[in-house]
């Protein structure tokens, strides 16, 4: 039997990178998958068709999780379409890097809204469904930067650290209803964003990682699969770093 056979999962920000691989891994392991995308309509539609090849129900939604009303509507539509919701992966996120002295208020607000407020919005809406069912797994995507900080990323680090504090609190609130809330903190992961970087810069970063390589999106997706499945049924309120030993 597949690890997520018959489960209903939502993955936000799944049109590319880590989110795309998580959605793919979940479908491969038997989950019916709802996913969101924001601007990449063509990529979202292509992913929907691609994942249906695994034989499970898949539907993409164009939705902005940073908007409270949109998040509420999204969860309502997913329940209407799929019947319930067992797993939520809050993966949607952006970066707008810059040193504090040059960071604009807009760049701060955008990153906090999309990275952190979206997690509150989706979790609040989804938790109502999970509390009725008395089961669920919520997985929130943070970063090693949220644990140790990083120069030039004060807004991003604050949003990702906020996700950790939020998740640990929610884990204590919802645990009695058999709803688990955990965090994944990826390190340097190869995605479309990192592929455009200077190879020499990438080599320098990899040299400082104990495993001497960058992570792949599959590494994060596998950790996500573990936390979504019953294999982690007694794991709650934890931060799993997928970073090759950086931390």
Q: Known binder of ligand: residue 157? A: yes
Q: Known binder of ligand: residue 158? A: yes
Q: Known binder of ligand: residue 159? A: yes
Q: What pLDDT sits at residue 41?
A: 84
Give the catalytic positions in this structure: 156
DSSP string, 15-75: SSHHHHHHHHHHHHTT-EEEEEESS-HHHHHHHHHHHGGGTS-EEEEE--TTSHHHHHHHH
Q: Known binder of ligand: residue 75? A: no
Q: Which residues of the chain have pLDDT under 70?
A: none
Q: Known binder of ligand: residue 91? A: yes
Q: What pLDDT sits at residue 1?
A: 85
Beta-carbon count within 10 A of 42 CB: 9
pTM for this prediction: 0.96
Residue pair 174/88 in contact (Cβ under 8 Å)? The answer is: no
Q: What pLDDT sits at residue 40?
A: 78
Beta-carbon count within 10 A of 198 CB: 8
**How far is the C-alpha of 86 from the C-alpha of 191, rounded, in Å?**
27
245 burial via Cβ count (<10 Å: 0-12, 13-18, 19+): exposed
In the chain, where are the structural domains located?
8-242
Q: Which CATH superfamily is domain 8-242 in?
A: NAD(P)-binding Rossmann-like Domain (3.40.50.720)
Q: What pLDDT sits at residue 29?
A: 98
């Amino acid at each position: 039997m597949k690890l997520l056979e018959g489960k209903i999962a939502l993955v936000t920000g799944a049109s590319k990178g880590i989110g795309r691989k998580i959605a793919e891994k979940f479908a491969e392991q038997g989950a019916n998958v709802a996913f969101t995308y924001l601007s990449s309509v063509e990529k979202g539609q292509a992913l929907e068709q691609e994942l249906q090849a695994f034989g499970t129900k898949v539907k993409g939604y164009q939705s902005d999780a940073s908007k409270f009303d949109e998040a509420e509507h999204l969860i309502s539509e997913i329940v209407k379409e799929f019947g319930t919701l067992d797993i939520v992966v809050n993966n949607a996120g952006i970066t707008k890097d810059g040193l504090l002295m040059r960071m604009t208020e807009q760049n701060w607000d955008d990153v906090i809204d999309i990275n952190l407020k979206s997690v509150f919005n989706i979790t609040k809406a989804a938790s109502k469904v999970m509390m009725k069912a008395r089961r669920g797994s919520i997985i929130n995507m943070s970063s090693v930067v949220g644990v140790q900080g990083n120069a030039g990323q004060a807004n991003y680090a604050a949003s990702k650290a906020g996700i950790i504090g939020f998740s640990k609190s929610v884990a204590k609130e919802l645990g009695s209803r058999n709803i688990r809330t955990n965090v994944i903190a990826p390190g340097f992961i190869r995605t479309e964003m990192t592929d455009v970087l200077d190879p020499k810069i990438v080599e320098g970063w990899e040299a400082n990682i104990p495993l001497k390589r960058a992570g792949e999106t599959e590494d994060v997706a596998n950790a996500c699969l573990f936390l979504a499945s019953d294999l982690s049924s007694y794991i709650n309120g934890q931060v799993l770093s997928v970073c090759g030993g950086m931390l």
